[in-house]
Amino acid sequence: MKSTPARMRQILLVTVTALFIALLAPPPCRAIAPVERFVLPNQLVVLVSEEHSLPFVTFALLVDAGARRDPS
């Protein structure tokens, strides 16, 4: 099958139109679960966000420590 310039322009036009329509589509709307903040006696801050409709648990640990926090 030979591709002619007219056929290539048609394919390009369809592709650009499809991309343009996809960009105009609204983003999916998803509610964000509220975040609870707890400060433990050792000043550790715990942020909890519960989403009971999902069957998994995600855990992330960020520690504000290291050489930049060293007083010397």
Q: What is the tens place of the pLDDT at every residue in 39-71? A: 989 888 888 888 887 788 888 888 777 777 777
Residue 12 confidence (pLDDT) = 92
Q: What is the pTM of this model?
A: 0.44
User: In whole angstroms, what is the distance from residue 11 CA to residue 5 CA?
Assistant: 10
pLDDT value at residue 51: 81
Which residue type does 56 have?
Answer: F
Q: Could you tell me the residue ranges of all domains in the chain? A: 5-69
> pLDDT at residue 27 above 70?
yes
| Beta strands, E only, the chain | 36-39, 45-48
pLDDT exceeds 90 at position 13: yes
- Nearest one of 34, 61, 28 to 50, comparing CA atoms: 34
Q: Are 12 and 20 in contact (CB under 8 A)?
A: no
